[in-house]
């Protein structure tokens, strides 16, 4: 995909379209997300972020590519590879280090005030029960 596209009630894009090089890709801004924060983070091999925390927002990290190590305020470290996940309370200090030999790509979603619940509805007999495991 070489450009972002918006339609009636949706938007599509790709990380390459949103930006190049290292650092943040502002997914929320590019797609017009309003319900929560979401960004991608591209880290070169060996790079370590600064330690940070949030006042209100819980974060969930998804490792799309590469190997990273999370370091938390209690001193623990956890190595996470592709498909790996981490959830962090707002006040918990955290940093991320790319421990692999290639770029690491993470998707980070943050929000507050709770889960909406499962509110999806099938339209016109088009699916019934959703994907495996959705029930």
Q: Residue 92 is part of a domain; what is its CATH number?
A: 2.60.120.10
The confidence score (pLDDT) of residue 122 equals: 72
The confidence score (pLDDT) of residue 11 equals: 97
- Does residue 59 lie within any of the structural domains? yes
- Does residue 7 lie within any of the structural domains? no
**Residue 32 in tokens:** 């017009």
Q: Which domain holds residue 25?
A: 21-111
**CB count, 10 Å around CB of 53?**
14
The confidence score (pLDDT) of residue 109 equals: 97
- Measured CA distances, 61 to 12, 70, 122 (Å): 21, 10, 29
- Does residue 36 lie within any of the structural domains? yes
The confidence score (pLDDT) of residue 43 equals: 98
- Does residue 91 lie within any of the structural domains? yes
The confidence score (pLDDT) of residue 126 equals: 64
Model pTM above 0.85 = yes
- Does residue 61 lie within any of the structural domains? yes
How many domains, in total, are found in the chain? 1
- Does residue 127 lie within any of the structural domains? no
Mean of the per-residue pLDDT values of the chain: 92
In degrees rounded to 5, what are phi and psi of residue 59? -120, 145
- Does residue 85 lie within any of the structural domains? yes
- Does residue 54 lie within any of the structural domains? yes
**Spans of the chain, pLDDT less than 50:** none
């Amino acid at each position: 995909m070489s450009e972002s596209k918006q339609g009636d009630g949706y938007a599509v894009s790709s990380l390459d379209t949103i930006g190049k090089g290292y650092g943040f890709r502002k997914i929320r801004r590019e797609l017009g997300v309003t319900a929560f924060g979401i960004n991608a983070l591209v880290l070169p091999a060996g790079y370590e972020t600064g330690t940070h925390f949030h006042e209100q927002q819980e974060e969930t990290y998804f490792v799309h590519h590469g190997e990273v190590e999370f370091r938390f305020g209690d001193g623990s470290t956890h190595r996470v590879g592709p498909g790996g996940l981490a959830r962090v309370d707002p006040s918990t200090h955290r940093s991320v280090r790319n421990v692999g030999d290639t770029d690491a790509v993470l998707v980070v979603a943050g929000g507050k005030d709770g889960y909406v619940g499962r509110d999806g509805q099938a339209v016109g007999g088009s699916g019934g029960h959703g994907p495996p495991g959705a029930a």
